[in-house]
Structure 1
Amino acid sequence: MAQAAAAIDWAKVRADFPLLTRQVHGKPLIYLDSANTGQKPAVVIDAVDDFYRRHNANVSRAVHALGTEATEAYEGARGKLASFLNVRADELVLCSGTTFAINLVAYSWALPRLQPGDAIVLTRMEHHANIVPWQLVAERTGAVLKVAELDERGDLDLDQLYSLLTPEVKLLALTHVSNVLGTVNPVREICRRARKQGIVTLIDGSQAAPHRALDIAAIGCDFYAITGHKMAGPTGTGVLWARREHLQAMPPFLGGGEMIREVRFEGTVFNDAPHKFEAGTPNISGFIGLGAAVDYLSSIGMANIEAREQELLAYATGKLSQIPGLRIFGEAREKAAVISFLVEGAHAHDLATLLDLEGVAVRSGHHCAHPLMHHFGVPATCRASFAFYNTFDEIDAFVTALQKVRTLLL
């Protein structure tokens, strides 16, 4: 668990988020769906607005002032992300999010390399974005998928995982933090083990980047993917980090403008990585906003954010555990601020719908994790996910609303 949070005025931090002041169905909004998408502070909204009002131009194409300003701001965001992740800027591919990043690895790294008899190892807790691309690659190459299972607490069964790492395994792809259970996987240990056996590793960091300090160099993976909209940035932004040797060896995934040096009908000379993977006009304003989000999160301190969210998680877990018939899914030894739950006799969608009428926003459904739902024998759960801008009073109001809803349904 994280250390105690520094002396931060969390009420002042919360005031940075304009949307959190609104009402829903005549009730103050209690937003507990940050694992789905994070809310945006005013500095991020202002950065996007300022770009379109004062600097709007395409990047890397024009020598006029606006073009220079746009390019500097866009590449500046790449530099901020590199510092945030402790990697080199020329190892970061800017893309639309984790889904695109994983597909880039699937089609540009895995598809040209895998052969019949090769294997890819995944885990039971993966998001569909870290399952479906590998299924598609397996179908086209003759490779097979192997699945690492969980224990009764929702922790990854490391002994079983390591038993799967046999010589035919070429890739291990797993999440850093489960979007359903909140389980924090020991990715540094896992990647070290895989690397000793010559297995390439990809980490889905979507649920880690918004909530904890990241040091990708220390993790020791080959690929790491994050999504910007979960970490207070705009939608349609994300990053793939890859070891330089992989980026240099991988062919382009998409063709078009900006990813080239010279085009002739006889053939094309591609740009250097990472730009050879960034065809077309990018989401310029989005990445400028993501750069502002990185500055904002860094100003608070990721260690402080993690500590605050751990306090909220502990408080909410204690409160929910007192509700009769409520089942919490996932009690991992190390867990992020996510609680998936069901109330006996009530469907997840009914719970979420009635909670919404009380102003409480939680997610219901399979959370893009069908195999995990099958593991628990349920079609869906409700999920309350917390961020540093939430409050203990909100948790109390959520619990009160849940008790009211439970009475209505049972």
Structure 2
Amino acid sequence: MPADLAVIGLGPFGLPLAQAAVAAGIPTVGYRTGPEPGSLSPAEQRRMLAQGFRVTTGAAELGRVRTAVICVPTPPAADGGLDLSQVEAAARTLAAQLRPHTTVILESPVPPGTTEGPLLRLLESGSGLRAGRDFHLAHCPSRVDPGNRDFTPANTPKVIGGLTPACTESAAAFYGRITDKVVRARGPREAETVQLLETNFRHVNIALVNEMAALCHDLGIDLWDVLRCAETKPFGFLAFRPGPGVGGHTVPQDLTAHAGRTLRMAELAQEVNGRMPRYVVQRAAALLNEHGKSARGARVLLLGVTYKADLADLQGSPAQEIAVRLMELGASVSYHDPHVPSWNVLDRPVPRADSLYEAAADADLTILLQQHRTYDLQGLSVKAQLLLDTRGATPTGGGAPVVRGGARQAPG
């Protein structure tokens, strides 16, 4: 059966879209652009293949579909903006196969102006077709939350901004087959800026609560109790949780590299969140010192090294920097993560603990970085010699500041 949809890029943005399309009965082909860490489990991917999903590296397939969605990554660039090289490569590949009446949608996170700027130019020059006349062009900000069982593509509204009203309606008709609600933006720039606002909103609020975490620790205040009380306010407050850093595939943008303008709040959020791995290591060293131990030579166990709970994705995980800084202090670092069978830091394999409780009992310090569902935190808090909890997840002390000593020490 010929595919109706081509998803270009099968990483964290493309695979969930392809999964939702296949579940909605849309014949779908995935165009692989290179090694791409996906956010779906092997079982989910096998289910997709059983439902007719096909993966290809043959670009000719892109010329046989009605809708093509570009979902390639846009990682941070050296200038502080986003690296659009994979978007540009995908556009060139698609342009060579593009046929009239195709709807082309960009879902990758990009700076405002990308869809009707470089993407449009590459598609038109490579195909000889005219956007808005010969083919439809639109932007749809990706709203993927890997591992979230409450909000899926089916019940998460999709925002559409087309080059022309007809482009918007064509893209809306496609997404209407997948999701319950489609929201029409004024145009591609507005749709692109939705992603910018949503991403920066997340990072700014995490930065605020991370700063509160450090302040509350210094003042001996239980931040988790503060958050528990604050989130009862029914208006004007949205609870975020602190942690050892911010990972994931969408990064905050300050627009400096693309628009000559700085979003100062986004810039500050990056600074604050970027300091959290260092703060965790400082607290680790202090906790060891309080118990008569030095970081040099200490056995430190890191629990959960992925960027998000219950996923195998390491993209942007703060665990990498935390491990490096601990090693620089002379600590002997090992890790446990049910989703990560092997892990390299500084091009060297980090020893993986097979038995969680035995490893925690043997380590001088255990640091909980990610709260995977499989972890028995009650048992862990009993077994660990010292426990540094960066997620406020362990039951020791009935709630305590963001970083706290565990089984052998009172919180604080």
Same fold? TM cut 0.5: no
Relative contact order, higher structure (CA 8 A, sep 6+): 1
Higher relative helix content: 1
* Bigger radius of gyration among the two: 2
Higher relative strand content: 1
| TM-score normalised by the chain length of structure 2 | 0.31
